[in-house]
Structure 1
């Protein structure tokens, strides 16, 4: 089954289809991870995107029930050099092709993913369409250029109603902007009593839940497309300890008076080095974001930059100078990727402990 990928600059890649037999349009990006394709395709932060895997062979260890980061994948398509038809792993339960067919997600293989990655690195992330190889490319290119990409990705992937993941420890309200299950798993592992709430939950509604701390999750798209969340976070800073990850990091910066910008092609992969400016240590991190915090915009704020990316110097971590709040641009829960930064969840717990102790002293 011949399929083609057409970019809005006119570049055409002819390949072989797998997964669902669907036509789809989205933003074409690339991920440099060597493993973890199951977690990547189920990460809600990829909502609306056609994800190119730079590693040449994908699907070789199959699909299992445990490695999903969401129940319903939001990715629009998977683009690979070669897809494994006969995976081999003791946990394997189905092939990547079978999963994509069940979930209605198209894939395209047998294309030059190195060339595609170079195009994206040169021109930046761009719109693309995956369609039948029998259709005239010029016809589809015109349609692609007329199509506007949506900007309600957070609304699409956030939970519609609040729900609890009970524990006997600190109560954490987790604002779901497109939460990976790995974040919830790390909080549960530390016996937190977690209440997951929709992205548009108000500050007053969160106060009524009487949290010990607030977690701002990852999520897709432009942080400026979620203005109600920015207002909520601004209202809660100083009242509760806050820990933000990825989109949560960007929303926190905007709430504190900073600014964000769209990156040329973003950071997506499990091998991004980040430097801790407080200790001088470098950790390999898992990342997935197309926007970043503008460091120059922070000069008049009360935010301190705590981490930077080794490769391009962009902001990777922030800390409030006056209140118990910190954020990181990368994913300490990994899934997939290295777990070097897992300790940040312990730091969040320590922050809640210190605030609880202060409350008792003043009681």
Structure 2
């Protein structure tokens, strides 16, 4: 077995065995606490520019299959685990983790103490690193490049180039424009299952194209990177907000809409990535277990109470997990109500979005 290594920006070196492709990859190193769902992690565009450490000790045991991919390709820069399963067992499996990582050209590392790595990231905060296999040792220039690395241009890198239309899988009730900032397929599936024809649109689509397109609502997807970097998209969202059209934002969509109404965002110390984060719905006075994947958060105190209110908070750290517009049919959440696998407690939010479109369409008749 070939060796592989992870060198962190603080000089910490982990030695393990190589999984997947050989080579070297510079990225931001993050951790995910989910016990399942590694295939969805690999294909989630929100991980663009990041190498992911899975805290669950055995990864790859049920293999991968074509039906559960969340997007068209693997987006992680590297993949780190305690133990990689060589012989997956599941009736739906059609490829192994090692084979998939090789095909996608992703460098993997197994056999390290992932608990130690996670503690470092929790104590010091997310940091950059180089993941490399044997015979691909970084030189000084690469190490300096790693230390200076920043995830930039992320939305532009992951969004689609041309619109894609997905028909409703039940009787069609609405047409939804889904802006792709790094969309996961389960968002469109949830909408299609509720009678929506979904048009997935490039992130930088002119808002007039949407307003003149006969759509009943706008969905803002998840995605990677620093939300404040997307100044053009934020300006476009201001136009959509002023139109009165129902809007539902998830994850990056939530952050971008918050910026569009004048709030601020901040980078978190190590982010929320996992499937067991407790979130309180303040209006319902009820806590839900949610799936999350984000390294930035909306600063709740900066939300103008004359425009919107903070609707959800994270029980662990009191960070803002959702906002609701006061005078428009607009709401957002930081977490993922569409997640699979994971808790599906908050899938009702899609029903809430459909209800807003029902009301808007009924009022227009």
Give the structure-1-normalised TM-score: 0.96
Structure 1 gap ranges (5+): none
SS in 1 for 2:359: helix
Give the match for residue 312 of structure 2: 307
Indicate the SS of the match to 1:235: helix
Structure 2 distance, partners of 1:197, 1:10, is 42
How far, CA to CA, are the matches of 1:217 and 1:137 in structure 2?
36
Structure 1: which 4+ aligned runs deviate by more than 6 Å? Answer: none
Deviates further, 116-125 or 203-212: 203-212
Residue by residue over 1:142-179, the C-alpha shift from the partner in whole angstroms, topping out at 9 and shown as x without a partner, is 33445433411111110111121123220100000000
Structure 2, unmatched stretches of 5+, are none
Cα deviation per residue 1:13-62 (whole Å; 9 max; x = unaligned)? 01101101121110000000000000111001001100000000000111
CA distance in 2, matches of 1:146, 1:346: 45
| Alignment partners' CA distance in 1, 2:305 and 2:354 | 29
Is residue 297 from structure 1 mapped to residue 302 from structure 2 by the alignment? yes
CA contact (8 A) 1:256 1:301 kept: no
Aligned 8 A contact 2:57 2:83 in 1:
yes
What SS does the corresponding residue of 2:67 show, helix, strand or coil?
coil
Take 1:22 and 1:143, find their aligned partners in 2: how far apart are those partners?
18
In 1, distance between residues paired with 2:247 and 2:198? 14
Determine which of 164, 180, 186 is the counterpart of 2:184: 180
> In 2 relative to 1, CA 301–8 (structure 1 residues): closer, same or farther, beyond 3 Å?
farther
Quote the offset at 1:208 in angstroms: 2.0
RMSD: 1.4
Q: Deviations over 1:101-121 (max 9, x none)?
A: 111111100001000000000
User: Match for residue 208 of structure 1?
Assistant: 212
Alignment of structure 1 residues 134-145 onto 2, 5 Å: 134=135, 139=140, 142-145=143-146
How many angstroms apart in 1 are the aligned matches of 2:65 and 2:206? 37
Q: Of 236, 255, 264, which residue of structure 2 is paired with 1:259?
A: 264
Contact 1:53 1:80 (8 Å CA) reproduced: yes
- The answer for the alignment partner of 2:277 in structure 1 is 272
- Show the 5 A alignment for 1:49-68: 49-68=50-69
Aligned to 2:18: 17
Tell me the equivalent position of 1:229.
233
Aligned mates of 2:133, 2:347 — CA distance in 1: 43
Equivalent residue for 2:87? 86
The one of 344, 347, 358 aligned to 1:342: 347
Secondary structure at the residue paired with 1:249? helix
1:186-201 alignment, distance < 5 Å: 186-201=190-205
Q: Displacement, 1:203?
A: 1.1
Residues in 2 aligned to 1:350 and 1:120: alpha-carbon distance in whole angstroms: 41
Alignment check: 8 A CA contact 1:286 1:336 kept: no
Matches of 2:102 and 2:200, distance apart in 1? 30
Contact 1:320 1:326 in 2 (8 A): yes
Question: Map of 1:110-125 to 2, 5 A cutoff?
Answer: 110-125=111-126
Shift of 1:277: 0.5
Q: Distance in 2 between matches of 1:280 and 1:300?
A: 19
**What's the secondary structure of 1:230's corresponding residue?**
helix
Contact 2:23 2:136 in 1 (8 A): no
Does the Cα contact within 8 Å between 1:37 and 1:58 map onto a contact in 2? yes
Displacement of 1:335 after TM fit? 2.2
